[in-house]
Amino acid sequence: MSEQEKKDSVLDKRSSRRTFIKNSGLTVGGVVLGGALGSLLIKDDQSTITTTETPNHAATPTANPNVALMFFTPNQYQVTQAAVERIFPEDANGPGAKELNAAIYIDHQLASPWGSNVKDYRLGAFYKAEENQGAQTKILRKDLFLAGLDSLNRYSNEQFEADFKELEATQQDEVLLAFSEGKVELYGKVSSSQFFSLLRTLTIEGVYADPMYGGNNEMLGWSMRKYPGSRMQYVAEIQDEKFIELKPQSLNSHMGH
């Protein structure tokens, strides 16, 4: 057991569900907190033990059934991989967005109802907006993204006579910068900066969202910034003058297996 792991298990003991119930004086079955919370706590207690004592050796990416496409063509996927890697590149801290499976995350999101803007207001006419009125374009996120990928290739060929994914990293950065500044023709009156902003948002989400969404592979997005994921409590940690690094846990650890 490494120093860190030892510390983890001590901390986990200190913060186990059972201690929590004891210390907090929670009345399980009280007027409000009925069976639902009670069973949640017990489930979590078990999962805490499981996760600390069996370190999470995640499967290799190729064996990860989440790595499959529900929206992109293989080529669209590869362009996306190349683009997200420039938004959040591999460096001394660790893997970039490509290795973290951000492009898989994006594929899954665009295939979801969110990709079709189902919770957005889409009634009435779409007028040209002032800067402070928010986007007023009718195009759906999934179509905006595909138009953006096409446009990345078109512009790369115009500037450098090659597809986006074939370019040098510095050339790719130049292309993305032009997109971010709204300088490239995208589709109709849709601005390239609108696509860029979607790409940027989705990349950050793909790096840091819970791994059940397909990105943040092996929780490495979290561990790079020493983020512990979705643990249940930090009573001791928030009082500590020293930084306490905890191994990340995903929502899967709340399932009670």
Partner 1 sequence: MVTKLPKVPVVVVGMGWAGGIVSAELTKAGISVVGLERGKDRTTADYTMGHDELRYQHRQELMQDLSKETITYRNTVSGKALPMRHYGTFIVGDGVGGAGSHWNGQTYRFLPYDFEIRTKTIERYGIEKIPAWMEGLNDWGLTYDEMEPYYDTFEKMAGISGETVELWGKRTNPYPTPPLLKTPLMKEFEKAATSLGYKPFVIPAANLSEAYTNPDGISRAACQYCAYCENFGCEYGAKGDPAVTVIPVAKQTGKLELRTHSNVLELTKDGGKANGVIYVDMLTGEKFEQPADVVVVASYVFNNARLLLNSGIGTPYDPITGKGTIGKNYCYQVTSGGSQLFFEDREFNLYGGAGALGIEIAEYMGDNFDHAEVDFIHGAGIRSTQYGDRPIAVNRVPAGTPNWGAEFKEKSIKYANSNFPVKTQGASLPHKENYLDLDPEFKDEFGYPLLRMTYEYTDNDRAMGKYMSSITRKIAEEIGADIIDTNEEQAPFNVNKDSNTHNTGGVIMGADPETSALNTYLQMWEAENVFVLGASAFPHNSCFNPTGTLGALSYRAAEGIQKYLKEGGILVKA
Q: What are the CA-CA distances from residue 230 to residues 14, 26, 104, 234 (Å)?
A: 17, 21, 21, 11
Angle ∠(16,19,20) on CA atoms, nearest 5: 85
Confirm if 199 and 83 have CB atoms less than 8 A apart. yes
Contact flag: residue 129 with partner 1 (CB under 8 A): yes
Instruction: Assess contact for 87 and 176: CB atoms under 8 A.
Output: yes
239, 14 contact by CB (below 8 A): no
226 contacts partner 1 (rule: CB under 8 A): yes
In this chain, which of 143, 163, 174, 237 binds partner 1, going by CB under 8 A?
237
Indicate the residue among 20 and 63 with the shorter CB distance to partner 1.
20
Q: What's the chain's Rg over C-alpha atoms? A: 22
- Comparison of 151 and 211: residue with beta carbon closer to partner 1: 211
Q: How far is the CB of 74 from partner 1 (least distance, A)?
A: 25
Should residue 174 be labelled a site residue for partner 1 when binding is judged by CB under 8 A? no
Count residues binding partner 1 (CB under 8 A).
75
Can residue 200 be called a binding residue for partner 1 (CB under 8 A)?
yes
Say what angle helices 102-111 and 74-87 make with each other, to 10 degrees.
Answer: 120
Mask for 34-73, x = binds partner 1 (CB under 8 A): --xx--x---------------------------------
List of E strands, the chain = 185-187, 190-191
Minimum CB separation from partner 1 for residue 64, in Å? 18
Q: Are 109 and 83 spatial neighbours (Cβ–Cβ below 8 Å)?
A: no
Closer by beta carbon to partner 1, 6 or else 22: 22
Stretch that binds partner 1, among 53-61, 66-74, 124-132, 160-168 (CB under 8 A): 124-132
Which residue in the set 89, 157, 171, 193 belongs to the binding site for partner 1 (CB under 8 A)?
89
Beta strand ranges found along 66-210 (DSSP E): 185-187, 190-191
Task: Pick the stretch among 51-59, 74-82, 91-99, 147-155 that binds partner 1 (CB under 8 A).
Answer: 91-99
- Cα separation, 25 vs 195, in Å, equals 51
The DSSP H or E segment spanning 12 is: helix 3-14
The span of 45-53, 56-64, 187-195, 236-244 binding partner 1 (CB under 8 A) equals 236-244
Q: Which of 1, 31, 57, 60 binds partner 1 (CB under 8 A)?
A: 31
Query: Whole-angstrom Cα distance, residue 147 to residue 105?
Result: 18
Question: How far apart, in whole angstroms, are the C-alpha atoms of residue 159 and residue 38?
Answer: 62
Q: Which of 11, 33, 69, 178 binds partner 1 (CB under 8 A)?
A: 33
Residue 254 touches partner 1, criterion: CB under 8 A: yes
Give the one residue of 117, 157, 171, 193 binding partner 1; rule: CB under 8 A.
117
